[in-house]
């Protein structure tokens, strides 16, 4: 009888056994965020997120009920229309096109999830420090963590940043099992996609975000680096110790890309991938590049190319393009 009781009471730490249990909603938890230990006294219940990919992380973890609302630049965009969580965006609350102290205070936010150049900015005064003074906790997007070299960003490979954030959020919101489930599924998806280009030459890929006078692209610390490399290509600016950054056209021409990966969003100059492709095809210095001569262009939405739960599907889609599947 005692053995039966011990088995029944095992989860309650009876009969001399100790079993780890999830911390309660009011138990403080500590995570490492951008190299610093950050403690959260309780599970946040009025979260404001900034940007599409950041918001989608909350949705992927099933945390929409913890959100006071989200901030994105318009709700009728390619990002929202193509989002696997489109229904969550529609049922959630779009607070504003631009984040500010007034926006988060207006919904009594107790937690803001954003990042440097993803909402946080000294120029606007919207920073983790300024929110802390208002009693609002913050979590910083790991892809956008500053790395100690001026304002350059990125402290780890982009997919590792995604997994780090999912696991940290899992701990903060007490959904660690869901976070691990997502990470495992993403890792398996990426491994399958990587096999499509095994044994084949790795094409040189130029990530074109925007800019006609000077191109805006991705260094080794932003999501396109891993999207490109895990799909079987080589980022031509993978040597730059930065995330999203401006380069010059001379450097693009010298690196002679085989493929151009275009970010699909309105940048104020050329608003569609087709317009961006037309610009590149009409740009004389690139006329002899293999990418332009072979019309090797591929596009993905902005939210698929910043840190987000869309990154694994982006790897798969780009791998299929490179492999001609």
Domain segments of the chain as ranges: 19-151, 187-323
Q: Are 280 and 259 in contact (CB under 8 A)?
A: no
Fold agreement (19-151, 187-323): yes
State the average pLDDT over residues 233-261.
97
Q: Are 142 and 33 in contact (CB under 8 A)?
A: yes
What share of the chain in percent tops pLDDT 70? 91
| Residue 277 dihedral angles phi and psi, to the nearest 5° | -65, -40
Residue listed under structure tokens 């095992």: 10
What does the pLDDT look like over 45-94, one tens digit per residue? 999 999 999 999 999 999 999 999 999 999 989 999 999 999 999 999 99
At residue 25, the pLDDT reads 73
What share of the chain in percent tops pLDDT 90? 86
pLDDT band at 26 (very low <50, low <70, confident <90, very high): confident
SS3 12: helix
Who wins on pLDDT, 245 or 270? Answer: 245
Q: Side-chain half-sphere of 232: how many Cα atoms within 13 Å?
A: 21
What is the pTM for the complete model shown?
0.90
The string of DSSP codes covering 85-125 is: THHHHHHS-EEESS--HHHHHHTT-SEEEEEETBEEBTTTT
Q: Which fold has domain 19-151?
A: Rossmann fold (3.40.50)
pLDDT band at 267 (very low <50, low <70, confident <90, very high): low
Residue listed under structure tokens 């956008």: 144
pLDDT band at 22 (very low <50, low <70, confident <90, very high): low
State the average pLDDT over residues 1-6.
39
Q: Give the whole-angstrom CA distance, residue 95 versus residue 105.
A: 11
Helix or strand run (H / E) with residue 30: strand 29-33
State the average pLDDT over residues 315-320.
98
Instruction: Give the chain's length.
Output: 325
Q: Give the whole-angstrom CA distance, residue 219 versus residue 284.
A: 24
What token pair was written down for 51?
Answer: 């940007």
Handedness of CA 86, 88, 93, 95 (dihedral sign): negative
Pick the CATH number of 187-323 from 3.40.50.300, 3.30.565.10, 3.40.50.1980, 2.30.110.10: 3.40.50.1980
Q: Are 31 and 166 in contact (CB under 8 A)?
A: no
State the average pLDDT over residues 173-189.
98
Task: Provide CB contacts within 8 A for 47, sequence distance 6+.
Answer: 58, 63, 66, 67, 68, 109, 110, 111, 112, 113
- Burial class of residue 317, CB neighbours in 10 A (0-12, 13-18, 19+): middle
Who wins on pLDDT, 1 or 253? Answer: 253
State the average pLDDT over residues 302-307.
96
Tell me what the pLDDT averaged over the chain comes to. Answer: 92
Crossing angle of helices 158-172 and 223-231, rounded to 10°? 120
């Amino acid at each position: 009888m005692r053995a039966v009781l011990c088995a029944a009471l095992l989860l309650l730490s009876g009969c001399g056994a100790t079993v780890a249990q999830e911390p309660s909603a009011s138990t403080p938890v500590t995570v490492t965020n951008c190299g610093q230990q950050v403690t959260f006294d309780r599970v946040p219940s009025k979260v404001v997120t900034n940007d599409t990919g950041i918001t989608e992380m909350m949705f992927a973890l099933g945390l929409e009920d913890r959100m006071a609302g989200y901030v994105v630049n318009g709700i009728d965009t390619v990002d929202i229309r193509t989002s696997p969580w489109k229904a969550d965006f529609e049922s959630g609350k779009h607070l504003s096109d631009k984040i500010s102290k007034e926006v988060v205070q207006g919904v009594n936010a107790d937690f803001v999830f954003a990042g440097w150049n993803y909402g946080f900015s000294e120029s606007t005064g919207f920073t983790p420090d300024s929110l802390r003074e208002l009693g609002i906790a913050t979590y910083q997007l790991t892809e956008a963590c500053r790395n100690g070299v001026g304002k350059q960003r990125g402290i780890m490979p982009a997919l590792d940043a995604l997994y780090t954030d999912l696991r940290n959020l899992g701990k903060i919101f007490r959904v660690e099992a869901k976070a691990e489930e997502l990470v495992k599924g993403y890792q398996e998806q990426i491994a399958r996609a990587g096999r499509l280009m095994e044994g084949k030459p790795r094409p040189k890929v130029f990530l074109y975000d925007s800019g006609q006078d000077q191109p805006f692209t991705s260094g080794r610390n932003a999501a396109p680096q891993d999207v490109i490399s895990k799909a079987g290509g080589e980022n031509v600016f993978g040597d730059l110790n930065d995330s999203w950054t401006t380069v010059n056209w001379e450097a693009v021409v010298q690196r002679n890309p085989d493929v151009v990966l275009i970010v699909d969003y309105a940048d104020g100059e050329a608003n569609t991938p087709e317009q961006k492709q037309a610009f590149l095809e009409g740009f004389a210095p690139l006329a002899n590049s293999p990418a332009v001569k072979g019309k090797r262009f591929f596009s993905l939405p902005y939210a698929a190319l910043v840190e987000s739960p869309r990154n694994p599907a982006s790897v798969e889609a780009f791998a299929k393009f490179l492999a001609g599947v």
